[in-house]
């Protein structure tokens, strides 16, 4: 018998440094009856994303989560009760559920997930979801790659980075990844087939990176910022494009580690452009269609890191900042349907 209580994590105070349990309050709330046009979702996956650390702290491209509100996140679940004809009971849906086991919504911002594609539902929270769409448009639209060019990807073994690496290979690039362990580097070269991977924690990482890019770098897919960005900028060619996807090295710090090599953009007549996946939602079908095909024919591989301890959520999310996650980090809070 499933509980009718909604288990929730409420933002209690603005974080400094990494998240801890002090920043949140756990509560169990009664699930209220539905009104017309509303439906109830039993959430089974929550997406844990680096950007949530920013959402808890300050206004960004979305307003900061208010103190006292359920912590914001994407999630996926099943409709268990509905008074909205567009969302039938049993439908699998995705949207801003927040860190909670149930959500009542009128469907705004929610979409239905195909439950007959032959791919695991979790894939729609990773390579076929926001993660894959970010890598796809960030590389193709901002990076504008050409065959034979060299691409550097930071946080290359992560959720977004690993997809960006593989799209780079599909487009005929020489792909070099930066990652934080030998195991991650081996996965990138041996399993995903990229050309070289450098463990940035190695004392001679800079030398290894130079050797992996003998003809310089044309496209940088930047997830980390700081030292990673500086190393990549140190190797850019004339006309290089830097797609600034994320700056995770600064999210949990009072001050962002800056970049000292920005003047390289001048001498190399290169460009750096930030982008947001939100701006590509209207084109997401193109990305999902290509990524789905590439996954089916084995050209795009992925891994998911699915945690199950909902009570540990405020600490589990820190795996993204320590590098302990292996692939797209999810929190499973209910059993997904078969
Ligand atoms: N622009 C957009 O619309 C958009 C959308 C989604 C995500 N993003 C950004 O994409 C980036 C990756 O997100 P994700 O969800 O795919 O996470 P992820 O890469 O799966 O996990 C984060 C990884 O970042 C690396 N990392 C963390 N702190 C680091 C540091 N100080 N120095 C070097 N590496 C560090 C760790 O890998 P190692 O073990 O290799 O250190 C960690 O595993 C983030 O910056 C995120 O904000 C942007």
**pLDDT tens figures, 211-252:** 999 999 999 999 999 999 999 999 999 999 999 999 999 999
Atom of ligand 1 nearest to the CA of 49: 15
Taking the whole predicted model, whether its pTM rises above 0.85 is answered as: yes
Whose structure tokens read 């540990």? Answer: 312
Instruction: Please state which CATH number belongs to domain 5-126+303-332.
Output: 3.90.180.10
Which tokens go with 184? Answer: 């991650």
Arithmetic mean of pLDDT, 178-198: 98
Q: Return the percentage of the chain with pLDDT > 90, whole number.
A: 95
Nearest-CA residue for atom 44 of ligand 1: 246
Check if 320 has its Cβ closer than 6 Å to any atom of ligand 1: yes
Strands 111-112 and 92-96, bridge-based pairing: antiparallel
pLDDT digits (tens, 9 = 90+) for 12-36: 999 999 999 999 999 999 999 999 9
Query: Crossing angle for the helix pair 159-170 and 130-137, nearest 10 degrees?
Result: 40
Atom of ligand 1 nearest to the CA of 228: 33
Check if 73 has its Cβ closer than 6 Å to any atom of ligand 1: no
Tell how far the Cα of 126 is from the centroid of ligand 1, in angstroms: 13
Q: Where are the alpha helices (DSSP H) in 19-126?
A: 51-55
pLDDT digits (tens, 9 = 90+) for 249-269: 999 988 888 899 999 999 999
- The answer to whether residue 120 scores a pLDDT higher than 50 is yes
Non-local CB neighbours of 190 within 8 Å, separated by 6+ positions: none
Candidate CATH numbers 2.30.31.70, 3.40.462.10, 3.40.50.300, 3.40.50.720; the one for domain 130-279: 3.40.50.720
Strands 174-179 and 196-199, bridge-based pairing: parallel
pLDDT of residue 256: 85
pLDDT of residue 1: 46
Cβ neighbours around 80 below 10 Å, total: 14
Q: How many Cα atoms sit within 13 Å of 109 on the Cβ side?
A: 12
CA 68 to chain centre: 25
Check if 149 has its Cβ closer than 6 Å to any atom of ligand 1: no
Boundaries of every domain in the chain: 5-126+303-332, 130-279
Evaluate whether 271 touches 141 at the Cβ level (below 8 Å).
no
Nearest-CA residue for atom 9 of ligand 1: 246
Helix, strand, coil tally for the chain in percent (to 5): 30, 25, 45
């Amino acid at each position: 018998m499933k509980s009718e209580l909604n288990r929730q994590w409420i933002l209690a105070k603005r974080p400094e440094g990494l998240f801890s349990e002090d920043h949140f309050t756990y509560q169990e709330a009664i699930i209220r009856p539905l009104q017309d046009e509303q439906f109830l979702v039993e959430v089974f996956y929550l997406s844990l994303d680096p950007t949530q650390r920013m959402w808890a702290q300050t206004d960004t491209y979305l307003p900061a989560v208010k103190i006292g509100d359920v912590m914001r996140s994407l999630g996926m679940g099943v409709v268990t009760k509905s008074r909205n004809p567009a969302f039938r009971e049993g439908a699998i849906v995705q949207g801003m559920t927040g860190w909670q086991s149930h959500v009542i919504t009128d469907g705004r911002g929610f979409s239905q997930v195909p439950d007959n594609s032959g791919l695991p539902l979790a894939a729609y929270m990773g390579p076929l979801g926001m993660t894959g769409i970010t890598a796809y448009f960030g590389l193709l639209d901002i990076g504008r790659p050409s065959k034979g060019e060299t691409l550097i990807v930071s946080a290359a073994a992560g959720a977004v980075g690993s997809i960006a690496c593989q799209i780079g290979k599909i487009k005929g690039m020489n792909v070099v990844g930066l990652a934080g362990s030998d195991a991650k580097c081996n996965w990138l070269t041996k399993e995903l087939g990229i050309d070289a991977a450098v463990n940035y924690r190695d004392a001679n990482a800079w030398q290894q990176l130079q050797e992996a890019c003998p003809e310089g770098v044309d496209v940088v897919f930047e997830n980390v910022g700081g030292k990673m960005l500086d190393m990549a900028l140190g190797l850019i060619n004339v006309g290089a494009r830097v797609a600034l996807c994320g700056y995770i090295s600064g999210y949990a710090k009072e001050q962002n580690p800056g970049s000292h090599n920005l003047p390289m953009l001048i001498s190399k007549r290169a460009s750096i452009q930030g982008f947001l996946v939100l701006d590509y939602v209207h084109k997401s079908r193109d990305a999902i269609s290509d990524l789905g095909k590439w996954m089916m024919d084995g050209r795009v591989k992925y891994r998911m890191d699915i945690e199950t301890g909902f009570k540990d959520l405020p600490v589990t999310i820190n795996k993204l900042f320590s590098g302990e996650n292996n692939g797209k980090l999810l929190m499973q809070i209910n059993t997904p349907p078969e």
